[in-house]
Amino acid sequence: MTTGLEGLHRNVPLSTQLAERMRDRIDSRDWPVGMRIPAESALVAELGVSRNSVREALRSLVHAGLLDARPGDGTYVRARSELRAVLERRARRSRPGDAAEVRSMLECQGARLASTRATPAEVETIRAALRDRDRAADAPTFAAADLAFHRAVVAASGNALLAELHENLDGLAEHIEAVTATPDFATSLAENRELNACHADLLDAIVANEADRAESLAAEIVRRSYATRTP
């Protein structure tokens, strides 16, 4: 992130430019989600601008849902993009089944496109996530690997907007954790051998450039995973 007044434009409001630079820090994970960002005084000293300009920039990012101002504590990064903040708010007003339907649409199209567009490097990323999923010894590790697998498949679609929508679909990670949060994790996996096999078959379909099969398997995975949701 550029510091001081370097690179600023006279015809664009200063607070707008400062907000954009802060967005860059959030997007690059220099300011990761959950982090308490530097205090206003520290930002003023670093950027060499007025406190009012910094305050206005922070206020706009709070309004956008990227930052969370906590009186007496500080300001924290809430989300990496406005899209996630919007989807998060919208998801709270949705039926439980809505997330499953949206996830199915995104992952089916993502798998279809990945079967024709995935690069060798992207295939290896999917394969590595599947390997981590198969080796997981507990529910949290499994959930993280499973989420990484599905995100890698959609990312391999070559459609950046589709991938961003999928990555920011609120409730997806929480759902995977809920599905795997059973008293006996090993038993849960054993009872879902067909679901687990579908993941390996999906990778095979992508490698083989079988678009219809990849799309069908993606739909089956979502259907089976939600069917096994723990009450």
Say how far apart CA 75 and CA 63 lie, in whole Å: 13
Q: Is the dihedral of CA 105, 64, 41, 69 positive or negative?
A: negative
Residue 79 has what pLDDT?
82
Task: Please check the confidence at residue 216 and state whether its pLDDT lies above 50.
Answer: yes
Tell which wins on pLDDT, 94 or 78: 78
Question: Which distant-in-sequence residues (6+ apart) come within 8 Å of 113 by Cβ?
Answer: 156, 157, 158, 159, 162
Contact 74, 85 (CB under 8 A): no
Number of residues in the chain: 231
Of the listed ranges 11-20, 134-143, 176-185, the least confidently predicted one is 176-185
The beta strand positions in 46-142, using DSSP E, are: 67-70, 74-77
Say how far apart CA 53 and CA 59 lie, in whole Å: 10
Distances (CA, A) of 3 to 7, 17, 48, 75, 192: 9, 12, 8, 20, 53
- Domains of the chain plus CATH, in order, are 14-80 (1.10.10.10), 91-227 (1.20.120.530)
Please state the pTM of the whole predicted model: 0.68
Q: Is the dihedral of CA 193, 156, 129, 144 positive or negative?
A: negative
Tokens 């996530």 sit at which residue?
A: 129
Span 82-106, pLDDT tens digits: 777 677 667 667 776 777 788 889 9
Of the listed ranges 58-62, 89-93, 158-162, 196-200, the least confidently predicted one is 89-93
Of 170, 167, 172, 177, the residue nearest 92 (C-alpha): 170
Task: Please check the confidence at residue 73 and state whether its pLDDT lies above 70.
Answer: yes
